[in-house]
Structures are given as C-alpha cells and as structure tokens.
Amino acid sequence: MPILALDTATLVSSVALTMPDTLVAELTIQTKLTHSELLMPHIDQLLKAARVQKNALKAIAVSIGPGSFTGLRIGLASAKAMAYALNLPIVGVPTLEALAYNCLLPEIYLAPMLDAQKGNVYFAVYHWHNGKLKEIKPAGVGAFDEVLDELANMDKRVITMGESAVMYRDRIMQAGGKVTMAPAHLIMPRAASVGLLGYQMLNSGIQHEVMTMEPLYIRRSEAEELWERRHGAC
C-alpha cells in the first residue's frame, strides 16, 4: 500500500504516492499560488490520477522543516488532519535530508540550503555511505557567505541544492573550486524523496504522534523576534 507524501516547506508544492522502492505518482509545481490554494486540490488530483482510494493508504509522510513558516504550518496541518481522519500513522521527514536524498551521488558531500531570510540559509551536510544517507553536519542556520566558505573548505567536493542554491547561483558558481550546484531537476524539494524516506523511517519503527508533532523551525519567526524587541525577553 502506498504512502501519501507532502512537501510544502518552500515555494514548491509537491505531493507524491510512493511504495517502499517505487514512485507511484508525483505532482510538483512551482508557481506564485499559495499552498493553501494548491495543496488539497493536488492531493485529490494525484489520488484520482493514480486510481488510489484514500482507504488504501498506509501512512502519511510530511516534510517538517526547516523552511517557510507558513508553508510548514499548512503542510503539517493538512497531513495531521488526514492522518487523524483516516486513522493512519504519520511520520515527519526533515526537509534538508529529503533534499539531499534527491541526489544519490557517493564520494561527495551534499549540502541542501533553504532561505532563512536576511542573507541567512538553513543548511546541513550529508553523504552516501554503503547505500545509506548519512549526516555529516546537522541542520543549522548561518549567513550564506559563511556557509559557502565552510563548504569550500571541506575535504571533498560539495554539491548544493535547494532554493538558496538557486537564489545564490551566481555566487556559488563564482566561488568555483569544490562547490557546485545540482542539476535543475534535482535541485528543488520533491515529495517523492519525503515519501521514500518516510517508508524507511516507518520500517525502522519511527513514527510521530499526530496531536503533538511540530515543525522543525530552527529559528524563531519574524513576529516572535519583533515582539521580543518591543516587549523584552520573558
């Protein structure tokens, strides 16, 4: 039975149906429309196109961040509502790990990067070892220039992907050396990767509580920082 996977952590809206080792169907769109407009119609369209009934689903996998605060909230709210209504297990998949999962490239480092506003990026570093994706540097946030310098000084070639790789394309290409960009078809988030990783997590006994699962924000929102500046820390 397939897993329904959702990824709304960036401006890309992606939904997929995956089996343990098979992509059944996927719909990925990058437009100016909001996730609140696209997500549920896309899920309905995907299920109908794949001829999969809701009661045939095995689980829900959802990208939990870091990423767009609004996108994460919409994705998680939708995933949790469906998991609760259909009585399905739910698993939250780290967004940066799912991005790195797009590229099965051994002997190099994979550095997914997402926009964290004000010249900052969310980033992590992974590599493939014995057919498994391993974390080299955990998810964090930093100024893009500092992150790029850190990647350029690593001991292996580095492939970047994610929306910030696109945003800073010129600066990455000008840096030269060990750091380069993934191909266009691998650089953006895909729900297929969320679903395939979700299967692995479920098979390892990992799943989350539908009522308590929260997004992985890493940093506070602009609204929280503004409130603290105006009112002081508690």
- Asked if residue 212 and residue 161 are part of one domain, the reply reads no
Do 159 and 111 lie in one domain? The reply is yes
Residues 10 and 83 in one domain: yes
Whether the CB-CB separation of 50 and 25 falls below 8 Å is answered with yes
Specify whether 8 is located in the same domain as 90.
yes
> Based on the domain organization, do 118 and 51 belong to the same domain?
no
Tokens of 9: 């952590």
Q: Do residues 119 and 158 share a domain?
A: yes
In terms of Cα–Cα distance, which of 46, 47, 80, 50 is closest to 62? 80
* Order of strands, sheet of 12-19, starting from the edge strand that comes earlier in the sequence: 22-30, 12-19, 3-7, 59-63, 90-93
Residues 55 and 169 in one domain: no
Among residues 47, 61, 54, 55, the alpha carbon closest in space to that of 89 is found at 61
The verdict on 115 and 73 lying in the same domain is: no
Q: What pLDDT is stored for residue 233 in this prediction? A: 55
Q: What is the per-residue pLDDT for 226?
A: 43
Q: How many helices (H) and strands (E) does the chain have?
A: 8, 10
| CATH number of 31's domain | 3.30.420.40
Asked whether residue 172 falls in the same domain as residue 205, the answer is: no
Q: How far is CA 151 from CA 163, 166, 182, 222, 234, in A?
A: 17, 16, 14, 27, 37
Per residue in 9-43, pLDDT (tens digit) is 988 899 999 998 899 999 998 876 678 888 999 99
* Total domains present in the chain: 2
d(C-alpha 100, C-alpha 208), whole Å: 22
49 and 89 co-located in one domain? yes
Distance of CA 2 to the CA centre of its chain: 19
DSSP E strands in the chain: the ranges are: 3-7, 12-19, 22-30, 59-63, 90-93, 109-115, 120-129, 132-143, 158-161, 179-181
Domain that holds residue 107: 103-186
pLDDT of 224 reads 46
Same domain? For 145 and 203 the reply is no
pLDDT tens digits in sequence order for the chain, 234 residues long:
899 999 999 888 999 999 988 999 999 988 766 788 889 999 999 999 999 999 999 999 999 999 999 999 999 999 999 999 999 999 999 999 999 999 998 889 999 999 999 999 999 999 999 989 999 999 999 999 999 999 999 999 999 999 999 999 999 998 878 999 999 889 988 999 999 999 999 999 999 999 999 999 986 544 444 445 565 655
204 and 91 together in one domain: yes
Amino acid, single-letter form, for residue 120: N
The distance of Cα 43 from the centroid of its chain, to the nearest Å, equals: 17
* Pairing of β 12-19 and β 3-7: antiparallel
By C-alpha distance, which of 217, 207, 220 is closest to 83?
Answer: 207
pTM score of the predicted model: 0.91
